[in-house]
Amino acid sequence: GKCADVLPRMPVCPRAGRCFCSRPCQFFRERQDRLKLWSRQHAWLVTTEDKNGQSRWQKLVAVGRDADLPDLEDDFYLGEWLLEIGPLRANGAGHVPVDYAELRAWSGLTGYIPTPFEAVALIEAAREYSRTATESSGKITPAPYSTGAVDRDAVAEQIKAGFRSMMTGNRK
């Protein structure tokens, strides 16, 4: 349940984003979830589906479409901070999400001092970014977020065309 159900008189610490019972409050969980979804969508958009090197974002722009990103509402600056920090770091086997030491270094250099909630949210978002980038790079995967309606007829036609081409290719 909610913290308020368990401890109805306990105040919320807005700086840490947690009730004094130390569990994240609903308000802060929703903000964190929005940032994580935004991060997953951004990572998905900048990765490629195939070997041609064009990101999904570049493909959308090439056909005159905008990329769908969830609205961060008043937390838009957290998305900007995440991209400024750089959500990923290279290591010998690929990439890893930024960690608290890198966040602290960025903070010291820029003068931006994130609250404890913002620091946790940025690290969590970087982890989601890394996971999504790994899972969707070089693969056809569904977008984590979409505002557009699915045209079922167009999808059905694409599936039929795919089967027709497979059948035609097998006869040769």
3-state secondary structure 118-133: HHHHHHHHHHHHHHHH
Tell me the average pLDDT across 90-118: 93
155 versus 38: the higher-pLDDT residue is 38
Tell me the average pLDDT across 16-45: 80
Residue whose tokens read 């820029």 = 110
Amino acid at 75: D
> Would you say residue 42 has pLDDT above 90?
yes
> What mean pLDDT, rounded, does the chain reach?
82
Tell me the average pLDDT across 96-117: 94
Start-to-end CA span in the chain (Å): 62
> Would you say residue 22 has pLDDT above 70?
no
pLDDT band of 148, cuts 50, 70, 90: low
Summarised one tens digit per residue, pLDDT across range 49-95 is 877 788 999 988 888 988 889 999 999 999 999 999 999 998 888 88
SS3 readout for 7-35: CCCCCEECCCCEECCCCECHHHHHHHHHH
146 versus 22: the higher-pLDDT residue is 146
pLDDT band of 17, cuts 50, 70, 90: low
